[in-house]
Structure 1
Amino acid sequence: MQPPSPAPEATPHSAGTGTPHGEAQGSALARRAAGPPGAADIRYRQLFDAIDEGFCIIEMVFDTAGRPTDYRFLEVNPAFGRHTGLVDAAGKTVRELIPDLDGGWFERYGRVATGRDPIRFEQFSEKLGHRCFDVFAFPADDAVPCRVGILFTDISARRRAEAALQDSERRLQEMVRRKDEFLATLAHELRNPLAAISGAAELLLHPMGQPSKARAAEVLGRQVRHMVRLVDELLDVSRISRDNIELACEPLDLRHIAAQAIEFARSGIDERGHRLSVDQPAAAIPVEGDGVRLVQVLSNLLDNAARYTEPGGHIALRCWQDAEGAHAEVGDTGIGIPAGRLEGIFRMFAQVDRSDPRSKPGLGVGLALAQRLAQLHGGDIAARSAGPGRGSTFTLHLPLAEGTAPQPVAEGPAARDAVRLKVLVVDDDTDVSYPIVTRLEWSGMETQCVASGQAALGVLERWHPDVALLDLGMPGMDGYALARHMAGAHPGVALIAVSGWGQPEDVARCRDAGFRAHFVKPVDLDAVSEAVRQAAQRR
């Protein structure tokens, strides 16, 4: 450890070089040595014993060449032991107490003894209990030149506090830098899908054949799903920072989770022309966990491999179990990770190398989310890489479930014959309600669509729907107020919420208000249609 920074300005009881304080100490010691104790000597002794600073008088020991080699403690005050940790030092040499004491002490005190000039310095000493001292040394007795007076304070706690403050400032600066980088990345990540959506929407305004329309619709759907995933990841960052992630655990088969994750990550893998190989055992791999969250973990690992592997590369997914648990490993032939970056790869907003043309970096939250979700399941994710250009491997480790039969992750609603249902859709944004109404009508349902809670009241009186989809954030009468009215006047109508608010507390509030389901915009139209059918059946 290096010595601390230069000493601060002198305090009133510990003056700097050549101050009256040093002269007063020296003259007091001289008078004390000259004759019997007097009033000055008594005052000196009282001060010597009362001060909080450590104080001692030493006698230097020099070798035949005049080099300082040791010193003896002639007197020490009560505070001496508290500051140094040395016990019964008076009468002993420092070499007796600390045989391998740092040589810097002898050199400095020797200069004071021979040069007769006081000095002020700070010194860190490993041998004195890893303490740092603020020291004022001065000639103690003109009649005995080798005697030195030392007034000192243990400033270790202050130096640790200063170091902690400097470390906090560095971390804060790093957080600000990473925040700025994240916002720039987020803007870039949003501009790409927005550009694609804007272009596809503009093309749809012009006459075109059905294949071109279908292509534009595919672009719109794919880019909207991409933006939804970005928003969901940002919300998960917030939930994790507030420790507000809740798991709905059940028996699962890790093989089925892997299959689901592949479907989620397939578009990114196909987009860059990667070859994907999958190696799974014939027998189930039983784990206990939240299927949705575990699919998110593995799909994030696959998405990360796709982003950081050059087009046409190879991605391998392997699942197995052994005595240590269940494991899923995602390896790639991508840009790799430098050894110095492996430790921080799971840090929020971490990026390997945004400038590498072979990569397509994202927000830098996917791996951090995956690691935290794995830890919430009692597991972990380990990363390894042979270095830049040599690929990476991420391995998910989970505990094996015992005594339970694993069930596959739900693969989505099964198709059912359309039922002639009456559905009321209430949303003040017609651009949002239009695709929902259209999808429900394609399913053979009868719909009414209004743009306010007040308008819905009139429809309810003359038209008796089976299910109502309510926007929650409407001006005037919002969805909650409309739901309260319907619970009293039209209790037979099943309620489904459609909202831009999707935090856990929002979902809980909807459940308490009597809603059967809660969808966050933008919605999955097929999922909404299926929820309408299920809500009508449970009335």
Structure 2
Amino acid sequence: MDLRTQRAFWSPLTRELLEVAPETPITFDLYESRLHPDDLGRDRRAVAECLATGRYQNEYRIPLAGGGWRWIDSRAKLVRDTQGHIVRLFGVVSDITARKEAEEARARSEERLRLILESAKDYAIFTVDARGIVTSWNAGAKNVFGHEEHEILGKDGAVLFTPEDRARGVPEKEIRAARRDGRAHSERWHLRKNGTRFWGSGLMMPLGDGGECHGFLKIMRDWTEARRSKELLERQAEALRQADRRKDEFLATLAHELRNPLAPLRNGLEILRRAGVDEEMAERARAMMERQLGQMVHLIDDLLNVSRISRGKVELRKDRVALAQVLRGAIETVQPLIERQHHELTVESLPEPVFVEADVVRLAQVFANLLGNAAKFTPPGGHIWLTVERRSGEVVVRVKDDGIGIEPEMLPRVFDLFAQVTDAHERSQGGLGIGLSLVKQLVEMHGGAVEASSGGLDMGSEFTVHLPIAASSSRPAEPPALACEAVQGAGHRVLVVDDNRDAALSLADFLELIGCDTRVAHDGFEGLRLAAEFSPELVFLDIGMPTMNGYETARRMRAEPWGEKPVLVALTGWGQEEDKARAREAGFDRHIVKPAAPEVLEALLAELQA
């Protein structure tokens, strides 16, 4: 542009870029009319600056005929004459649309990234340079670590690691691994600003171009709760595995313990079956069979007790009782086993009586279990000590033996359900691993505590029971009622209804031996028919029968004209409290759990006779 004549000259490519026809005269006004309105003011400022400095540079947009805009980079220089007057302006224009679009796209991308980084409140995202100095810090990093951006920028990122990791050079090793492998994953404890620790799970990646690393990006999350949840699940899984192993051991032991009495019972039956057996041998067989049957009943009762206590179905009948009375009952229960093993039992009691608030039967069961264990796990000819000590507000009972002892690692879980002190296959004296669990639960139900100690294998064991002493104002318990004496059946008419033929016929045979007139039915319908014909005074009725169970049979009997007279007894293997309640609702007078002891049956007949 000749500034003296205001004539302008544009090359053909300039006209093309600014979309001006070849024949259109070029003026400064035309030039300004081609600019985007938002860029015009900036261009005029650039022209004014050019008049002062002699140089012009600006970027502006030109509208395109087909829509849209073209970005132009324009540069110019003033030429002066010898007197210093401006005479000419010449310059060049360049199409920079592609570059500007790329810059705008990058700016949009950077803005999106910035928004993402700022919205990632749960993720610490920050960068460090090649030396590990923090160069950027997002809001999530502040939430995770507690450091404000101005507090951490320029600091060594090693401050985020624990002192022990810094001493081992972990921050430097992480940078080297990220540089070498392209990424470095880590899960470890990290430090917050306040000094607390959290379990961080993170990934570090190198930043750079052209193969040159300028720094590193690290993304991290507080994974403490997830780690705790994982550890909890692992502990629960291990506990389930342990429980499963204990269950398998328990089932194997249960099978062993139930088979043990079966062999002598079968032998005893064979002895009694053979002719010519003398009375002494027959009596020995009968006594042995009674012992073995009692052992099987005891095992089943223990299982039921565990189930009831675990479900909160056991209610203690507490009263003020002398502890010596409880201990005497426990010793009497275990005395046959102690004598068979030829053990020496030493009892050290207090000179004066001590009273406790207790259920006599349940507390005696506690000490019978402890004494029984001492007898079973002490080699023949061993020693057992039972000592009683009074302390402030409590009485302490110790059961000690010089038997096989308990391994130290087993002591913390010796009271666990199904816990076995030794390998199940080596436990010839038996036990299901439930006795000590019963002991613990029953003692705690009495407001006490129990603990176990042992010097190790072959060093004996000691179990210590702490019980609160009863207040002196409590009323002493009445002595337990004596069982009814055995009587003869005196011709009582008795109907036995049980789908188990052996159980029904053997019970009928026993009742006939003691003088009863008996009939037998093997299902509910047959029982109803015989009852109508026979008019029994007493009906023993099984519950778990097919077609029509014992509850329904009892209801139908009670609905008959003759149904009010007979005494209905549920004789069944179902012995839970809810089973007894259902029996009462169905019309039963009594509920007896199989197998019924002969003295129980005789006492029931004695009541009928009275």
Shorter-normalised TM range? 0.7 to 0.9
Q: Is the 8 A contact 1:256 1:409 kept in 2?
A: no
* 2:236 alignment counterpart: 168
Alignment of 1:92-491 (within 5 A): 93=155, 100=163, 102-103=165-166, 104-108=169-173, 110-111=175-176, 115=179, 118-125=182-189, 127-128=191-192, 129-140=196-207, 147-207=215-275, 208-354=277-423, 360-402=429-471, 403-407=473-477, 410=480, 412-415=482-485, 420=490, 422-428=492-498, 429=500, 431-433=502-504, 436-437=507-508, 446-452=516-522, 453-454=524-525, 456-457=527-528, 460=531, 465-475=536-546, 478-488=549-559, 489=561, 490-491=563-564
Report Cα offsets for 1:453-509 as digits up to 9, x if no partner.
Answer: 555556655665544333333455543334334435342433322112112211121
Q: Is the 8 A contact 2:362 2:442 kept in 1?
A: yes
CA-CA distance at 1:59 after TM superposition: 4.4
CA-CA distance at 1:60 after TM superposition: 6.3
Report Cα offsets for 1:372-396 as digits up to 9, x if no partner.
Answer: 1222222221111122212111122
Letter in 1 for 2:544: G
CA-CA distance at 1:211 after TM superposition: 0.5
Q: Is the 8 A contact 2:487 2:605 kept in 1?
A: no
* 2:31 alignment counterpart: none
Query: C-alpha distance in 2, partners of 1:358/1:228?
Result: 19
Distance 1:72 1:180, change over 3 A: same
Distance 1:157 1:415, change over 3 A: same
Distance 1:142 1:409, change over 3 A: farther
SS at match of 1:102: helix
Q: Is the 8 A contact 2:495 2:536 kept in 1?
A: no
SS at match of 2:564: coil
Letter in 2 for 1:191: R
Farther off after superposition, 199-208 or 101-110: 101-110
* 1:42 alignment counterpart: 111
Distance 1:81 1:408, change over 3 A: farther
Letter in 1 for 2:311: R
Q: Is the 8 A contact 1:253 1:287 kept in 2?
A: yes
SS at match of 2:165: coil
Farther off after superposition, 243-252 or 193-202: 243-252
CA-CA distance at 1:314 after TM superposition: 1.1
Report Cα offsets for 1:289-324 as digits up to 9, x if no partner.
Answer: 322222221111111111110011111222343324
Distance 1:346 1:149, change over 3 A: same
Q: Is the 8 A contact 2:160 2:191 kept in 1?
A: no
Letter in 2 for 1:133: G
Q: Is the 8 A contact 1:251 1:287 kept in 2?
A: yes
- Structure 2, unaligned stretches of length 5 or more? 1-102
CA-CA distance at 1:342 after TM superposition: 0.8
CA-CA distance at 1:280 after TM superposition: 2.4
**Which protein has greater RCO, CA pairs closer than 8 Å, 6+ apart?**
1
Q: Is the 8 A contact 1:200 1:217 kept in 2?
A: yes
Report Cα offsets for 1:405-424 as digits up to 9, x if no partner.
Answer: 33266375153776847242
Farther off after superposition, 192-201 or 101-110: 101-110
* 1:84 alignment counterpart: 145
Q: Is the 8 A contact 1:203 1:216 kept in 2?
A: yes
Distance 1:498 1:459, change over 3 A: same
Q: Is the 8 A contact 1:308 1:361 kept in 2?
A: no
SS at match of 2:199: strand
Distance 1:475 1:112, change over 3 A: closer
Letter in 2 for 1:273: H
Q: Is the 8 A contact 1:291 1:409 kept in 2?
A: no
Q: 2:595 aligns with which of 507, 515, 522?
A: 522
Q: Is the 8 A contact 2:268 2:288 kept in 1?
A: yes
Distance 1:458 1:53, change over 3 A: closer
Q: Is the 8 A contact 1:425 1:469 kept in 2?
A: yes
Q: Is the 8 A contact 1:345 1:352 kept in 2?
A: yes
* 2:576 alignment counterpart: 503
Letter in 2 for 1:53: Y
Query: C-alpha distance in 2, partners of 1:382/1:271?
Result: 28
CA-CA distance at 1:527 after TM superposition: 1.8
Farther off after superposition, 323-332 or 306-315: 323-332
Q: Is the 8 A contact 1:233 1:366 kept in 2?
A: yes
Query: C-alpha distance in 2, partners of 1:197/1:238?
Result: 28
Letter in 1 for 2:321: L
* 1:75 alignment counterpart: 136
Query: C-alpha distance in 2, partners of 1:358/1:461?
Result: 53
Letter in 1 for 2:403: G
CA-CA distance at 1:212 after TM superposition: 0.6
Query: C-alpha distance in 1, partners of 2:190/2:481?
Result: 63
Farther off after superposition, 215-224 or 138-147: 138-147
* 2:23 alignment counterpart: none
* 2:92 alignment counterpart: none
Farther off after superposition, 509-518 or 457-466: 457-466
Distance 1:324 1:75, change over 3 A: farther
Q: Is the 8 A contact 2:162 2:190 kept in 1?
A: no
SS at match of 2:307: helix
How many residue pairs were aligned?
492
Letter in 1 for 2:554: A
- Structure 1, unaligned stretches of length 5 or more? 1-33, 62-70
Q: Is the 8 A contact 2:397 2:465 kept in 1?
A: yes
CA-CA distance at 1:109 after TM superposition: 5.1
Query: C-alpha distance in 1, partners of 2:353/2:539?
Result: 41
Query: C-alpha distance in 1, partners of 2:191/2:430?
Result: 50
* 1:28 alignment counterpart: none
CA-CA distance at 1:226 after TM superposition: 0.6
Report Cα offsets for 1:424-445 as digits up to 9, x if no partner.
Answer: 23233454345545655666x5
Farther off after superposition, 385-394 or 425-434: 425-434
Query: C-alpha distance in 1, partners of 2:147/2:479?
Result: 67
Report Cα offsets for 1:351-405 as digits up to 9, x if no partner.
Answer: 2223797962421111111111222222221111122212111122222222213
Q: Is the 8 A contact 2:130 2:213 kept in 1?
A: no
Letter in 2 for 1:413: A
Distance 1:41 1:272, change over 3 A: same
Query: C-alpha distance in 1, partners of 2:389/2:607?
Result: 37
Letter in 1 for 2:474: T
Query: C-alpha distance in 1, partners of 2:474/2:307?
Result: 33
Alignment of 1:11-22 (within 5 A): none
Q: Please say if 1:58 is aligned against 2:58.
A: no
SS at match of 1:203: helix
SS at match of 1:178: helix
CA-CA distance at 1:172 after TM superposition: 2.3
CA-CA distance at 1:346 after TM superposition: 0.8
Query: C-alpha distance in 2, partners of 1:224/1:416?
Result: 20
Query: C-alpha distance in 1, partners of 2:295/2:328?
Result: 20
Q: Is the 8 A contact 2:135 2:153 kept in 1?
A: yes
